Amino acid sequence: MVTPTLGYAARDEANPLSRFDFERRDLRPADVQIDIHYCGVCHSDLHQVHNDWGNTVYPLVPGHEIVGRVAAIGSEVDKFTVGDVVAVGCLVDSCQRCEPCEGGEEQYCLKAATQTYNDKDRIDGSPTHGGYSKRIVVRQEFVLRMSDKLDPAAAAPLLCAGITVYSPLNYHRVSSGTRLGVIGLGGLGHMAIKFGAAMGAEVTLFTTSPSKIEEAKRLGAHKVVLSSDREQMKTARGYFDLLIDTVPKPHSMNEYLMCLRRNGNMVLVGPIGMMDPPIHLGLLISARKALSGSAIGGISETQQMLDFCADRGITCDVEMINIQDINQAYERMQRNDVHYRFVIDMASLK
Ligand code: NAP
Ligand code: ZN
């Protein structure tokens, strides 16, 4: 059984997104049905729409930064009631039995977690569709609780941009005294600055955009390095404990590896599609440096991050748009003109 709903979809990689009628499954016993109020626009949506990673299945309804209200619950749901404000991020299911799942790291499920969109439902094989839509149905284990202290629109991007940078900062125990460098000031980067500063780190932004220097300081960065300036890059050498690279496009890594101090770690979260990067391995070997990666975060860690944000009053800097503006928003993202996350007001979808 299914229920009709409405969304916005890409039909292929070349044409703009447009209205799309599709169906959501009826409730299984452990399912929560959510009326979507807000959905953030992640650079990954753009990568998927353009088939940058070669795995896009069309029609594609993107969106994995979802906030809404519970509209109905299945007979076995015990964590939520109708009317609760809730959130859904990048995952809607996983095997729940493997070692990463049992350790609360469903994003690293050995049987591959089910992505919120561009994936297949584990039970009936139907395509998963994301948050650029009126409604979603998700098993309760993958639904997050949202504090009423958080503005729901400004909190929506926490569900991907937020957790993707919170998780490596948490894993690497960022605290007072950590010298943290954030590479790229976009959706992920602006949250890495806010979280790093809230955790007590000394935060430096590496940016390609001179216009963002003052903005970065307003967001909590203590220093800014213009990455196109060779002298500034030289001055930053050998200084950082941790670098978080959020850049979505291929770029050189060696000059950033030079900025790590002994035992430093550079965590890649942005350049997912970058193949065979030229890396000077001597830079790692000479000072026991590490180059690593990180993907979103598990469900319990995402809840921990949302609660941390509610306690500290942290949300995202967002620009609200109507769903009809999504194609222009994508164009602006490609021109690097985002401050710092578009969020779709889903009431505009009629
Ligand atoms: P975004 O908002 O578009 O920001 C990207 C930033 O990267 C830009 O603001 C820009 O900052 C910098 N940049 C440097 N060179 C660039 C170039 N050639 N083109 C565009 N930007 C450039 O993107 P986002 O939403 O933060 O996502 C960043 C990347 O993370 C994407 O590739 C996305 O797919 C990926 N991602 C990964 C995960 C994960 O789990 N690992 C989760 C979510 C997203 P400056 O102006 O400061 O240089
Ligand atoms: Zn995302």
The long-range contacts involving 92-96, CB below 8 angstroms and separated by at least 24 positions, are 92/116, 92/119, 92/128, 92/138, 92/139, 92/142, 93/121, 93/122, 93/139, 93/142, 96/141
Rounded to whole angstroms, how far apart are CA atoms 168 and 243? 10
The answer to whether the CB of 272 is under 6 A from ligand 1 is: yes
Cα 115 to ligand 1 centre (Å): 20
Q: What pLDDT was estimated at residue 1?
A: 65
Q: Residue 40: is it exposed, middle or buried by C-beta count within 10 angstroms (0-12/13-18/19+)?
A: buried
Cα 165 to ligand 2 centre (Å): 11
The answer to whether the CB of 39 is under 6 A from ligand 1 is: no
* Upper half-sphere CA count for residue 233 (Cβ side, 13 Å): 16
* Nearest CA, atom 39, ligand 1: 295
Closest CA to 90 of 168, 189, 188, 160: 160
Contact 80, 140 (CB under 8 A): yes
Average pLDDT over residues 286-310: 98
Please name which ligand lies nearest the alpha carbon of 246: 1
DSSP lists the bridge partners of residue 181 as 204, 243
* Closest ligand 1 atom, residue 43 Cα: 25
Q: Residue 288: is it exposed, middle or buried by C-beta count within 10 angstroms (0-12/13-18/19+)?
A: exposed
- Percentage above 70 pLDDT, the chain: 100
Average pLDDT over residues 58-62: 98
| Phi, psi at 188, each rounded to 5° | -70, -45
Average pLDDT over residues 137-149: 98
Q: What pLDDT was estimated at residue 54?
A: 96
Please name which ligand lies nearest the alpha carbon of 48: 1
The answer to whether the CB of 212 is under 6 A from ligand 1 is: yes
Closest CA to 40 of 157, 200, 179, 145: 157
The answer on pLDDT for 143 being more than 70 is: yes
Please name which ligand lies nearest the alpha carbon of 39: 2
- Measured CA to CA in angstroms, residue 234 lies from 8, 216, 229, 259, 260 at distances of 46, 20, 9, 8, 12
Instruction: Indicate yes or no: pTM above 0.95.
Output: yes
Average pLDDT over residues 222-247: 98
Average pLDDT over residues 322-349: 97
The answer to whether the CB of 91 is under 6 A from ligand 1 is: no
Please name which ligand lies nearest the alpha carbon of 107: 1
For a mutational test of ligand 1's pocket, the pick from 208, 243, 340, i.e. the residue with the most ligand atoms closer than 8 A to its C-beta, is: 208
Q: For residue range 206-221, list pLDDT tens digits in order.
A: 999 999 999 999 999 9
Query: What does DSSP say about strands 91-93 and 114-115: parallel, antiparallel, or unpaired?
Result: antiparallel
Taking the mean position of all CA atoms in its chain, how far away is CA 300? 16
> Sign of dihedral through CA atoms 210, 343, 273, 170?
positive
Average pLDDT over residues 61-80: 98
Rounded to whole angstroms, how far apart are CA atoms 67 and 91? 14
Query: With bands split at pLDDT 50, 70 and 90, how would you rate the model's confidence at 2?
Result: confident
For a mutational test of ligand 1's pocket, the pick from 108, 336, 338, i.e. the residue with the most ligand atoms closer than 8 A to its C-beta, is: 336
Tokens encoding 53: 């990673």
The answer to whether the CB of 186 is under 6 A from ligand 1 is: yes
The answer to whether the CB of 47 is under 6 A from ligand 1 is: yes
Cα 237 to ligand 2 centre (Å): 31
The answer to whether the CB of 64 is under 6 A from ligand 1 is: no
Average pLDDT over residues 21-28: 97
Q: For residue range 162-181, list pLDDT tens digits in order.
A: 999 999 999 999 999 999 99
> What value does the mean pLDDT of the chain take?
97
The answer to whether the CB of 163 is under 6 A from ligand 1 is: no
The answer to whether the CB of 333 is under 6 A from ligand 1 is: yes
The answer to whether the CB of 184 is under 6 A from ligand 1 is: yes
For a mutational test of ligand 1's pocket, the pick from 193, 247, 296, i.e. the residue with the most ligand atoms closer than 8 A to its C-beta, is: 247
